[in-house]
Structure 1
Amino acid sequence: MRPLILLCLLLNWVLTDIQAQQKVIPLYPGKAPGSESWTWQEKELFHQPYQSKLVYNVSQPTLTAYLPPAATANGTAVIVAPGGAFHILSIESEGIQVAKWLNSKGVAAFVLKYRLVRSLTDDPVAELAPKMRDFKKLDEINAPVVELAIADGLKAIEYVRSHADDYGVNPKRIGIMGFSAGGTVTMGTVFNSTSANRPNFAAPIYAYMNALKNQTIPADAPPLFICASTDDQLGMASHSTNLYNAWIGAKKIAELHMYEKGGHGFGMRKQDLPVDSWIDRFGEWLELQGLLWPEKPSGTTSQVTLKQVMERRKAAEERVRNDWAYFKKYETENKALTAVAAGEKRVVFMGNSITEGWKRADSSFFAGRPYLDRGISGQTTPQMLLRFRPDVIDLKPAVVVILAGINDIAQNTGPMTLEQTFGNIVSMAELAKVNHIKVVLSSVLPAYDFPWRPGLEPAEKVVKLNNMIKDYATRNNIVYLDYFSAMVDNQKGLKKELTYDGVHPTLAGYKVMEPLAEKAIAEALKRK
């Protein structure tokens, strides 16, 4: 049973319908060279014991493109190679979720399905389990396919580089990252490439190195980001430390993150351990390399711009320590407000980035009206509750429109239950009513996933929270503002034509929200 238990740590797949919506790119025009006689077809299987889908029998390698919004794209691209012992692909936590996180940073991502060892049955997990008892024999079985998979990795780099203009990518900012066997593919491309198809940077994550025959470090070797866990159950921690030492010994750029706990195959899974934040460390490393910021005409990020970015980050970190609720955000504006005029029906919009972005997207909605936008990007309900007095009560509005909860579900300030979120929303409503302020409680906008924290499956949580808010509003004679019904798609996400990232509205989205908000405000003013 031990190999099965270890194998479980490798598997965390949930193929989503989103994948089918991305552009799938065959790497070769016909049969892939070296496997022309392969006649089997790629398959998916929902594996009941792990409650997961897996991909196996890949014979025609492909890339699936995940592109960031044009407005946030920075010209960097990463090819993502999932792991699975060259028999299966952990396509979700080591592929799709990583790609979506990269998109949130403005990076184009291409998930690679490389060629795999053929499974003779429709239970590839059961076939693989006994093979993992002896890695030496497994390496012998995998050896011919490892070479083909590395060729697929090199072909992927060539493809993205030759089609860079089509995807808004700088051909000098193309990297590759891979997990476990995907890490083998990643380092195989580095060791076996030429200057024409060598990645500009690479990130082997708990890579398996023993399957690589050639480990000669090229003279123009790219920078490496290396990450693994000391308690790797498959004994691969040393593969990462040895690789780091070799890179540093060759006087090449490398960064190593070795976590005490996390096991093998942690990918984007959440275990409530420090290893959960490894992807953020990767983002910081990309930033340090100048790969997350819009490129200059020369193709590089200026030191002044990078310095400014670092200063802004430092300021943000200081604010978290010294002004967690961000009282200072609107302090000056609040002090400059004149007293409420006779007959004025002042309205405060309290919320997060969806509210804050509203005024930027459509300033005309707020112009000429007694509407005050008090949204702060990224905020959760505990932060809003703390600043509710200075940013709402003290402004003496007739109505407050509260739109909150999505960042709680995204765990922006840590895990929260829906009941805790709902309690904070109720507390804001009660504070408003005690101070003779009419309340409009908004539904949370639909969200299928979070680009900055993929895999939390927010769709059903949003529905449940909205039901709680609506029920409370009905029982307490409070206006319920239903954005959700007007903006939801058939996956319980935000309609594509109304958003640029699946969470935040575009101008078209705000145009849907505005008449609904005005109607709700008018209704609230009528109520006693």
Structure 2
Amino acid sequence: MMKLRLTLLLLFSFTMVTFAQQRDTLYVWPGAVPGENVPKQDPVQTDNTSGDVTRITDITNPALIVFEPEEALKNGAAVIVCPGGGYNILAIDKEGYEVAEWLNTLGYTAFVLQYRVPNKQQEALYDLQRSIRMVRSREAWEKVGVIGFSAGGNLAARAGTRFREDTYARIDEWDETSSRPDFAMLIYPAYLDKGDNRSLSPELSVDQDTPPMFIFGTADDTYGNSSLVMAGALRDHKVPVELHLLPEGGHGYGLRSGNIAAETWPSLAESWLNQWQE
């Protein structure tokens, strides 16, 4: 029985890696990677597959994995997906590929971002800002949004509040394009309450130009305060925000069935997204 389970896990992991390799991959940086001192290489898949999650790390060549919806469903908008993983790994299937496939059913072209990890929070912001500019420059999208989970939610919030900053040296005409996302969805975001007395992190500059946000979390999530302080800051600046907080559900559930939070947020997010497509 143990041998069978191991075989199934290895097959699952192999399938997810092959799955990604069969899709178009857009590399974020054409030349040298800003702030990176390690040569470009393929991500490393970790041995930890607990929870049936494929985890990758040691990312030095950030990339966007492209998920296209069926032609009849296309709505002219794009969403960049930022998986979580504590800025140490990326839960690339649970909070990446599976989310992209869900977005495809709604008509969105999805781009799963393999941003730099481990322990490269500032460089991860470079990667997302460049990705927004890159996606926006390649096609005349009606809107380009972001969705992030846990640490990926933190990253999406940073992109939505720090778009005026030149965080890296511009390298081509794409970098003349705005890195401001048209909307952001933060699903159980983390690390947004690093201010005094667990207030909003000082690095997050919320103002009237911050994009509208959808925020979802649970009261029993260790990082749940991040959702509350972010929503409060957006409200204070009259930025459109929709906050949902369930009593329970924990953290890191993605959209897999069997968890009340995972089974709730997608339909709420879909309704919210429809507002910004009208």
TM bin (shorter chain)? 0.7 to 0.9
> What's the CA shift string for 1:119-159, capped at 9, x where partnerless?
xxxxxxxxxxxxxxxxxxxxxxx4xx111101111011001
CA gap of 1:36–1:246, structure 2 versus 1, over 3 A, is same
Picking from 275, 279, 304, the partner of 2:266 is: 279
- Which amino acid is the alignment partner of residue 272 of structure 2? W
- Which amino acid is the alignment partner of residue 222 of structure 1? P
Displacement, 1:275? 4.2
Distance 1:269 1:284 in 2: 19
Distance 1:276 1:260 in 2: 14
> What's the CA shift string for 1:206-227, capped at 9, x where partnerless?
1111465511113311100000
- Alignment partner, residue 215 of structure 1: 204
CA gap of 1:48–1:149, structure 2 versus 1, over 3 A, is closer
- Alignment partner, residue 244 of structure 1: 231
Q: How many aligned positions are there?
A: 247
- Alignment partner, residue 73 of structure 1: 74
Displacement, 1:278? 0.6
Displacement, 1:37? 3.9
CA gap of 1:40–1:104, structure 2 versus 1, over 3 A, is closer
Q: Which runs of 5+ in 1 are unaligned?
A: 1-12, 118-141, 292-300, 302-528
Displacement, 1:76? 1.1
* 82-91 or 36-45, which deviates more: 36-45
* 42-51 or 24-33, which deviates more: 42-51
Distance 2:259 2:50 in 1: 23
- Alignment partner, residue 214 of structure 2: 225
Picking from 134, 143, 153, the partner of 1:183 is: 153
Distance 1:22 1:46 in 2: 23
Distance 1:257 1:28 in 2: 36
- Alignment partner, residue 61 of structure 2: 60
- Which amino acid is the alignment partner of residue 283 of structure 1? E
Q: Helix, strand or coil for the counterpart of 1:47?
A: coil
Distance 1:27 1:40 in 2: 13
Displacement, 1:85? 0.6
TM-score scaled by length of structure 1: 0.45
- Which amino acid is the alignment partner of residue 230 of structure 1? A
- Alignment partner, residue 183 of structure 2: 201
**1:88 aligns to 2:89 (yes or no):** yes
> What's the CA shift string for 1:44-86, capped at 9, x where partnerless?
1342554543111111110011011222101111100000011
C-alpha RMSD of matched pairs (Å): 2.1
Distance 1:95 1:103 in 2: 12
1:269-308 alignment to 2 at 5 Å? Answer: 269-273=256-260, 275-289=262-276, 291=277, 301=278
Question: Which structure would you say has the larger RCO, counting Cα contacts within 8 Å and 6 or more residues apart?
Answer: 2
8 Å CA contact retained: 2:253, 2:259: no
> What's the CA shift string for 1:397-432, capped at 9, x where partnerless?
xxxxxxxxxxxxxxxxxxxxxxxxxxxxxxxxxxxx
- Alignment partner, residue 28 of structure 2: 27
**1:152 aligns to 2:127 (yes or no):** yes
1:87-486 alignment to 2 at 5 Å? Answer: 87-117=88-118, 142=119, 145-165=120-140, 169-170=141-142, 173-194=143-164, 196-208=178-190, 209-210=192-193, 213-232=202-221, 235-273=222-260, 275-289=262-276, 291=277, 301=278
Distance 1:37 1:46 in 2: 22
Displacement, 1:38? 4.8
Q: Which runs of 5+ in 2 are unaligned?
A: 1-12, 165-176, 195-200
More helix per residue: 1
CA gap of 1:102–1:56, structure 2 versus 1, over 3 A, is same
Distance 2:245 2:212 in 1: 17
- Alignment partner, residue 297 of structure 1: none
Structure number with larger C-alpha Rg = 1
Distance 2:41 2:149 in 1: 25
Displacement, 1:188? 1.0
Q: Helix, strand or coil for the counterpart of 1:15?
A: helix
TM-score scaled by length of structure 2: 0.83
- Which amino acid is the alignment partner of residue 257 of structure 1? H
8 Å CA contact retained: 2:82, 2:155: yes
- Alignment partner, residue 360 of structure 1: none
- Alignment partner, residue 9 of structure 2: none
- Alignment partner, residue 419 of structure 1: none
Displacement, 1:230? 0.9
Identity %: 31
> What's the CA shift string for 1:439-484, capped at 9, x where partnerless?
xxxxxxxxxxxxxxxxxxxxxxxxxxxxxxxxxxxxxxxxxxxxxx
8 Å CA contact retained: 1:259, 1:275: no
